[in-house]
Structure 1
Amino acid sequence: MLTFRDDSVTAVILGNMQDAGLPHAGCTCGRCTAAFQNPAREGYAACLAIVDTRGKKRNTEGHGRGTEFHGDKARVYLVDATPDIKFQLNLLAGVLGEHPQRTNRMRQPDAIFLTHAHMGHIGGLPQLSKEAMFVNGLPLYATPPLCGLIQQTKLWSPLVAELDFRPMPSGAAVTLGEGLVVTAVPVPHRDEWGVGTVAYRIQGPNQSLLYLPDIDSWDEWPEAEATLSSVDVALVDASFYSRDELGGRAPVAHPLVTDTISRFAHLADRLVLTHLNHTNVVLDEGGGAETAVHQAGFRIAQIGDQFIL
């Protein structure tokens, strides 16, 4: 269970792996085998939480209807609902606290922001249904097409009534509290359902953070340099380290870590690498790839890493 500084806004990493986590289902590679044998080596799918412990303040602004703080409790927001959501929520048990009506239950998060529709980013939504956590009126922010897709898909129908959909177009901003604003930033990423992909720019009272777990290519995003330069911290897609990792497969739609390091060397002090595929050699502690990343001045995201905003 994680702890947080009082009277502050903190972004915390709850997962740093590609959609399927570590270990991968059905995989017998060395990293996955080690994780199957030793749970301490497991890794959760990429996820971020925003924790606002300025609990006695009140917010009556923002997108849609106003929201209020729960007495003196922290406000807790998730970015993406991953297949590992039950473990990630448990990391936040100390700030979520007890459910106001149900015994032996924790309070639901105050909202969830979805980046896009791929498995690792919405695969945890079923855990919110009545068979599991059974949320009630949980605000869900996503692009308007993604909100519509979830609402119109019969598979999701038992859950839809328990969610409070807050369509958030690209470029829209939501005020979550005094000095705390989340803005949806459109980015290029494979889009099988035509619902779009966004990163989130989180402006806190003192610092800003960009959460960008998925992007096809830096070349396809002309705003990359300006956007990354405009924030204090940027958590960026680092799915694959180099072309050697692909084993002869066709190029994948993710920027390679080697390319990111080369392109953004001048921004190394603010970039943090996340969304690591289970094949990524930076996962090998003390290995050459991890050493090269650190020597270049970049950081590798770890569960529990916190950034005061």
Structure 2
Amino acid sequence: MPFLPFLLLLLALPALAQQQLVVLGVAQDGGYPQAGATGEYAAVALGLRQRQQVVALGVVDEAAQQKFLFEATPDLPAQLFALNQYLPTPGTLPTGIFLTHGHIGHYTGLLHLGREALGASAVPVYAMPRMADFLTRNAPWSQLVALRNIALQPLAAGQAMVLNPKLRVTPFLVPHRDEFTETVGYAIQGQHKTAIFIPDIDKWSRWDQRLPEVIKHADYVLLDGTFYRNGEIARDMAEVPHPFVEETLRLLADLPPRERAKVYFLHLNHTNPLLDPGSAERREVQRLGFHVASEGLELPL
């Protein structure tokens, strides 16, 4: 099913107890501080900068007593603890985990569910076909499947996964470096509002959707903001063709203020000046009416 039509088919849902989306991490896969970056470690150790966890979301539905995790990052233990503060019961494990793709910051936290750690039982893990095949065929992930620490739940692009009568999640394919798996974003449709989550994507011109139109049909749009500008890292940035934040700002320059206010940048690389609350770049993003996501941000659904 095409991306925009399924957003336009949202049902008018009556009010229930609060649902909310919670940002549990905003950093790129390596986190902040990143391995080998001694200056960052010193700044965090001295209290000059704050540690940032790898990008993840939580979705909590109090009425349904459900809590979902989007991404299984290396920071899963701390993020799961944070998620449980919003809904301590039932149990400490999430109702389900949704994965976007097979890069290290987005799925390797699954190891914490295995026999060396939690020894979990049949935690539902929602994955696209190549992602599920990757987990099934490759150790050590295959052991999680064989021992039933996780129970893979198949997803299909454009098809909604109904989690309860007032909450559904729909994956959609996005272009990315798909060495091992496909890559998806998610439309998270709550009782009142819809959030779009795209933590990883290649240049917007490679996607078959127009970002301004996607924003128009959502309430919150959490976007890949990995790098602020070209030249931010020493290697050839064509090898990691994320859209620069500067490019995204230009692409969305004609949006009215109400539409700009829906946009939150996340998945920030350790080199990205948006990680610094006092940077000129962060002030510029905010001046233009956009947001930089932060850990603990709560968005009602």
Bucket of the pairwise TM-score, normalised by the shorter protein = 0.7 to 0.9
Q: Residue 53 of structure 2 aligns with which residue? A: 44
User: Aligned ranges for residues 66-145 of structure 1 at < 5 Å?
Assistant: 74-97=65-88, 107-145=92-130
Q: 1:164 to 1:250 in 2, by over 3 A?
A: closer
Specify the SS of the correspondent of 1:209.
Answer: strand
Specify the SS of the correspondent of 1:154.
Answer: coil
Q: 1:25 to 1:247 in 2, by over 3 A?
A: closer
AA partner of residue 214 (structure 2): T
Q: 1:308 to 1:250 in 2, by over 3 A?
A: closer
The one-character-per-residue Cα deviations of 1:236-260 (angstroms, maximum 9, x if unpaired) are 0000001142346343310000111
The one-character-per-residue Cα deviations of 1:223-245 (angstroms, maximum 9, x if unpaired) are 13332321111000000001142
Q: Does structure 2 conserve the Cα–Cα contact (< 8 Å) formed by 1:22 and 1:42?
A: yes
Q: Residue 306 of structure 1 aligns with which residue? A: 298
Q: 1:167 to 1:32 in 2, by over 3 A?
A: same
Specify the SS of the correspondent of 2:214.
Answer: helix
Specify the SS of the correspondent of 1:7.
Answer: coil
**TM-score (structure 2 length as normaliser):** 0.87
Range with bigger deviation, 201-210 or 35-44: 35-44
How far residue 159 of structure 1 moved from its aligned partner, in angstroms, is 1.3
Q: Residue 262 of structure 2 aligns with which residue? A: 270
**TM-score (structure 1 length as normaliser):** 0.85
How far residue 26 of structure 1 moved from its aligned partner, in angstroms, is 1.4
Task: Name which of 188, 197, 201 aligns with 1:215.
Answer: 201
How far residue 98 of structure 1 moved from its aligned partner, in angstroms, is 5.9
Specify the SS of the correspondent of 2:197.
Answer: strand
Specify the SS of the correspondent of 2:156.
Answer: coil
AA partner of residue 201 (structure 2): I
Q: Distance in 1 between matches of 2:40 and 2:286?
A: 21
Specify the SS of the correspondent of 1:139.
Answer: strand
Q: Residue 289 of structure 1 aligns with which residue? A: 281
Q: 1:247 to 1:304 in 2, by over 3 A?
A: same
AA partner of residue 281 (structure 1): P
Q: Residue 13 of structure 2 aligns with which residue? A: none
Q: Residue 203 of structure 1 aligns with which residue? A: 189
Task: Name which of 161, 168, 171 aligns with 2:155.
Answer: 168
Q: Does structure 2 conserve the Cα–Cα contact (< 8 Å) formed by 1:23 and 1:33?
A: no
Question: For this pair of structures, how many residues does the alignment match?
Answer: 278
Q: Residue 155 of structure 1 aligns with which residue? A: 140
How far residue 158 of structure 1 moved from its aligned partner, in angstroms, is 2.6
2:28 is aligned with 1:18: yes
Q: 1:126 to 1:231 in 2, by over 3 A?
A: same
AA partner of residue 26 (structure 1): G
Q: Percent identity of the aligned residues?
A: 35
Q: Distance in 2 between matches of 1:40 and 1:86?
A: 22
Q: 1:98 to 1:203 in 2, by over 3 A?
A: closer
Q: 1:24 to 1:8 in 2, by over 3 A?
A: same
Q: Does structure 2 conserve the Cα–Cα contact (< 8 Å) formed by 1:51 and 1:76?
A: yes
Q: Does structure 2 conserve the Cα–Cα contact (< 8 Å) formed by 1:215 and 1:255?
A: yes
The one-character-per-residue Cα deviations of 1:36-65 (angstroms, maximum 9, x if unpaired) are 44497100000001100113xxxxxxxxxx
How far residue 34 of structure 1 moved from its aligned partner, in angstroms, is 1.1
Q: Residue 65 of structure 1 aligns with which residue? A: none
Unaligned runs of 5+ in 2: 1-15
Q: 1:165 to 1:39 in 2, by over 3 A?
A: farther
Range with bigger deviation, 238-247 or 81-90: 238-247
Unaligned runs of 5+ in 1: 1-5, 56-73, 100-105
Q: Distance in 2 between matches of 1:131 and 1:122?
A: 17
User: Aligned ranges for residues 57-72 of structure 1 at < 5 Å?
Assistant: none
Q: Does structure 2 conserve the Cα–Cα contact (< 8 Å) formed by 1:188 and 1:216?
A: yes
Specify the SS of the correspondent of 1:210.
Answer: strand
2:174 is aligned with 1:187: yes
